[in-house]
Structure 1
Amino acid sequence: MELSSAFSLKGKVALVTGASYGIGFAMASALAEAGATIVFNDVNPDHLAKGLEAYKAAGIDAKGYICDVTDEAAVEAMVAKIADEVGSIDILVNNAGIIKRIPMIEMSAAEFRQVIDIDLNGPFIVSKAVIPGMIKKGAGKIINICSMMSELGRETVSAYAAAKGGLKMLTRNIASEYGSYNIQCNGIGPGYIETPQTAPLREPGHPFNSFILAKTPANRWGTTDDLKGPAVFLASPASDFVNGHVLYVDGGILAYIGKQP
């Protein structure tokens, strides 16, 4: 296989959940640039509309659907509608997620369950809905957006870390259970990424900015562009023998103990 074709997604349909903006939008844009047809969902109609405008402005003919990834019946209906309107899904990126920064002893069980439901049950539900079509095709790519919290703990993120740790193991289990059908399931673990939400934390002199730079061998925050290449790799034939792996795009944080005070 020629290298150019190994990374081509021409003719593929990619569903990226929660990809109206941010990391999901960046990865979906990269998949589109590699040739994929993009479909995405959002639970919020306003976000969906803004996402469609953003794709159009970027020259991407994406199709959006209102869908809650925790609603099994709604997800199954969306996947069937995508198959009818666009085509059977070849690539799934489980990107939709939330985080609640609450000290564990102050967090209610309902709040904990909400994070688990969206960040872990959601990927299970959407993967479960698309895998039969991938089996029928004899090929498929699933990319779960994990986190450094798949490996590390931190104050106030008990639910998020539990969900992402579970997602790492779900990734490995999907690879184990469906690898024989030529389905590859891998994860991407973003580090600390420049987004509008993190802008206040990245101000020069902010303690958190100093903390992240001291913990990152690359000595910078990541950008959404840093996630594009890994997403295309894991969605393309170039990764056909990569399965059950989490690719951490973190500037080296997980490899580094940090600078000596």
Structure 2
Amino acid sequence: MSEQRECIVVTGASRGIGAAIALALAQQGRHVACFSRSGALPACPGVPAEVSARWIGAKADVTDPAALAAAMRKLADEGWRIKGLVNNAGVHLDGPSAEISLEHWQEVMDTNATSVVSACQAAYPHLVATGGGMIVNIGSFFDKLGVKRNLAYCASKAAVGAITRCLAVEWAGKGIRVMDVAPGYIVTDLNADAMAAGGPLRAYLDKRIPGREPGTAADVGALVASLFTPAGGFLTGETIYIDGGQGIAH
């Protein structure tokens, strides 16, 4: 590329919430480097060609720090200026707390928390070189709840909030803002059957969510994209819960 253009890196961008985030950012007119293990572009049917043309496919396993750093260096070598990062990739494993293995614990922590640190470290020199930018980490409202069979997952998402606060304070002088977006129950292509009306999970959510409806991946995508506009210019270090009020409902 002869001229440098700006892009935002989104991890886990091929499906679900990550794809919705990549779509919302592209709809803003931004170029999005879509990181995933497969390197596939977001699975978003019916997207206009002028929007999907803003996606850049990239293969990177978030649990491999060297792969993350290499993928970001490749973007820079191709003339892209990295101005933002969305750490969306994650895994959800559950099991009885008295019985989960250390391997279970490590897989969840590595994918959901350690990878956030690795990606932020990989992006840091690029963000500094471009005069700063925004990092958005995708947490969960489970970070403040005691959830049976979710010891590792809840701990990993609480760590995301702590990582966000620490980096926001430490990197503010470099013009880097860091936010944590923490969804509640969100319907995606991965869980649509379980979330369908009439099922036991949906019946539970109808009682627990004040508005009686779970959120959508597009809801999360729109919120994340808004943080990359002037509206998010003085926000940093905070956790924004997007859970329809479920986490505060008594």
Q: TM-score of the superposition, structure 2-length normalised?
A: 0.91
SS at match of 1:168: helix
Per-residue Cα deviation, 1:153-207 (whole angstroms, up to 9, x for no partner): 2111111111100010000011010112211100111111112332232333322
1:108 to 95, 101, 105: 101
Matched, 1:130 2:123: yes
Aligned to 2:246: 253
Identity of aligned residues (%): 33
Equivalence map 1:109-188=2 (5 Å): 109-188=102-181
Identify if the C-alpha distance between structure 1 residues 56 and 195 changes in structure 2 by more than 3 Å, giving closer, same or farther. closer
CA distance, structure 2, for counterparts of residue 101 and residue 53 of structure 1: 26
Greater fraction of residues in strand: 2
Task: Give 1:136 shift.
Answer: 2.2
Is residue 97 of structure 1 aligned with residue 90 of structure 2?
A: yes
Partner of 1:27: 21
- Equivalent residue pairs, number: 243
Equivalents in 2 of 1:16, 1:56: separation in Å?
A: 20
Amino acid at match of 2:189: P
More helix per residue = 1
Counterpart position of 1:3: none
> Runs ≥4 in structure 1, deviation > 6 angstroms?
none
Inter-partner Cα distance in structure 1 for 2:195 and 2:97: 26
Question: For residues 11-50 of structure 1, what are the structure 2 equivalents within 5 Å?
Answer: 12-43=6-37, 45=38, 48-49=39-40
Matched letter for residue 22 of structure 1: G
* C-alpha deviation, 1:113, in angstroms: 0.2
Partner SS, residue 105 of structure 1: coil
Answer yes or no: is 1:195 the counterpart of 2:200: no
| Alignment pair present for 1:227 and 2:227 | no
* Amino acid in the other structure paired with 1:33: Q
Change (3 A) 1:96 1:86: farther
Shift of 1:86: 4.7
**Distance (whole Å) between structure 2 residues aligned to residue 55 and residue 42 of structure 1:** 18
The CA deviation string for residues 51-104 of structure 1, in whole angstroms up to 9 with x for no partner, is 356489542121112111121211111110011225121010000100112111
| Structure 1 gap ranges (5+) | 1-10
CA contact (8 A) 1:13 1:86 kept: no
Aligned AA (1:208): L
Deviates more, 1:198-207 or 1:236-245: 198-207
Cα gap change, 1:56 to 1:220, in 2 (>3 Å)? closer
1:244 is the counterpart of 2:237: yes
Paired with 1:171 and 1:235, the residues of 2 have a C-alpha distance of 16
